[in-house]
Amino acid sequence: MPMVQLKKTPLPALDPIQRRLGFQEVSLGYSPTQALAEAQRCLLCQEPNCEAGCPVGVPIRDFIKLIAEGKPLEAVRAIKQVNSLPAICGRVCPQEHQCELKCVIKGKQEPVAIGALERFVADYELAHQGAQTSVNGYHRNLVNSLPGKPTAKVAVVGSGPASLTAAGDLARTGYHVTLFEALHVPGGVLMYGIPEFRLPKSIVAAEINKLREQGVEIQCNTVIGRTITIDQLMHEMGFGAVFIGSGAGSPKFMGIPGENLKGVYSANEFLTRINLMKANRFPEFDTPVKKGQRVVVVGAGDTAMDVVRTAIRVGAREAYIVYRRTEKEMTARIEDYHHAAEEGALFQWLTNPVRLVGSDDGWVRGMECIRMELGSPDESGRRRPLPVAGSEFLMEVDTVVMALGTNPNPTVSQSTQDLVSDRYGHIKADPATGATSKPGVFAGGDVVTGSATVILAAGAGKRSAQAIHQYLNERRKAPTAGAPAVGC
Partner 1 sequence: MAIIVEKRDLTPITSLFEVNAPLIARNAQPGQFVMIRVNQQGERIPVTITDSNRSKGLVTIVVQVVGKTTHLLRSLERGDRILDFVGPLGRPVELPKHGQAALVGGGFGTGAILSLAKELAARGVEVCSIIGARTRDLIILEKEVRASSDHTYLCTDDGSQGFHGFVTGQLEALVRAGMAFDQVVAIGPIAMMRAVAETTRPLGIKTQVSMDPIMVDGTGMCGACRLTVDGQLKFACVDGPFFDAHQVNFAEAIVRSKTYAEEERAALTTAVAAGG
Q: Name the site residues for partner 1 (rule: CB under 8 A).
A: 182-184, 192, 220-223, 226-229, 232, 249-251, 253, 255, 260, 262-263, 265-266, 268-269, 272-273, 277-278, 282-288, 290, 361-362, 409-411
- Name which of 246 and 348 has its Cβ closer to partner 1: 246
Q: What span, in angstroms and rounded, lies between the C-alpha atoms of 192 and 450?
A: 18
Q: How far is the CB of 227 from partner 1 (least distance, A)?
A: 5
Element holding 217 (H helix, E strand): strand 217-219
Q: How far is the CB of 360 from partner 1 (least distance, A)?
A: 10
User: Residue 310 carries which side chain, given as an amino acid letter?
Assistant: T
For residue 161, say if its preceding peptide bond is cis, omega within 30 degrees of 0: no
Q: Where are the beta strands (DSSP E) in 359-470?
A: 364-377, 383-387, 393-396, 399-402, 406-407, 441-443
- Name which of 236 and 474 has its Cβ closer to partner 1: 236
Q: What span, in angstroms and rounded, lies between the C-alpha atoms of 180 and 115?
A: 30
Residue 191 · residue 204 · CB < 8 Å: yes
Q: What span, in angstroms and rounded, lies between the C-alpha atoms of 340 and 199?
A: 15
Burial class (CB in 10 A: 0-12, 13-18, 19+), 277: middle
Q: How far is the CB of 158 from partner 1 (least distance, A)?
A: 11
Q: How far is the CB of 448 from partner 1 (least distance, A)?
A: 17
Distances (CA, A) of 147 to 151, 425, 477, 479: 10, 39, 8, 12
DSSP letter for 137, please.
G
Q: What span, in angstroms and rounded, lies between the C-alpha atoms of 258 and 406?
A: 20
- Name which of 401 and 443 has its Cβ closer to partner 1: 401
Q: What span, in angstroms and rounded, lies between the C-alpha atoms of 398 and 263?
A: 6
- Name which of 97 and 262 has its Cβ closer to partner 1: 262
Q: How far is the CB of 297 from partner 1 (least distance, A)?
A: 15
Q: How far is the CB of 451 from partner 1 (least distance, A)?
A: 13
- Name which of 393 and 424 has its Cβ closer to partner 1: 424
- Name which of 63 and 192 has its Cβ closer to partner 1: 192
Q: How far is the CB of 26 from partner 1 (least distance, A)?
A: 25
- Name which of 106 and 262 has its Cβ closer to partner 1: 262
